[in-house]
């Protein structure tokens, strides 16, 4: 049971990784954020509530808490700055 995490923009630099496989016992996007914030001060600050723009589960932008199925691709998106 695992999921793939993709990090974008400034998160790649602050967290020092762009993609990772994570063991996953099931849960939601809130479960995942709690787990990542528990990795230490750097992670807790980078992924503080209000800083994470959006999560994407299997290419679908998530609004609110959402289930993450086994094998999912989860994108973690900082605030966007395009155009």
Partner 1 sequence: MYCDITVQTATFDLGAEELALRAHAGDAGALVAFQGMVRAHDEAVPLAALFLEHYPGVTEAEIRRIAEQAAARWPLSACRVIHRVGALAPGEPIVLVLIAAGHRAGAFAAAEYLMDYLKTQAPFWKREDFVDGSSRWVEAKASDDAACGRWHD
Q: Which of 55, 70, 75, 73 minimizes the C-alpha distance to 25?
A: 70
Up-side HSE of residue 26: CA atoms within 13 Å toward CB?
0
Which of residues 4, 9, 28, 35 is near partner 1 by CB under 8 A?
9
Site string for partner 1, 39-78 (x = CB under 8 A): ---------------x-x--x-x-------------x-xx
3: contact with partner 1 by CB under 8 A = no
24: contact with partner 1 by CB under 8 A = no
């Amino acid at each position: 049971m695992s999921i793939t995490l993709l990090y974008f923009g400034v998160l790649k630099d602050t967290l020092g990784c762009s993609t990772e496989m994570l063991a996953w016992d099931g849960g939601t996007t809130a479960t995942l954020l709690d787990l990542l914030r528990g990795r230490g001060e750097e992670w807790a600050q980078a992924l503080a509530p209000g800083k994470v723009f959006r999560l994407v589960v299997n290419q679908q932008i998530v609004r609110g808490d959402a289930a993450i199925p086994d094998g999912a691709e989860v994108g973690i998106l900082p605030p966007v700055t395009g155009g």
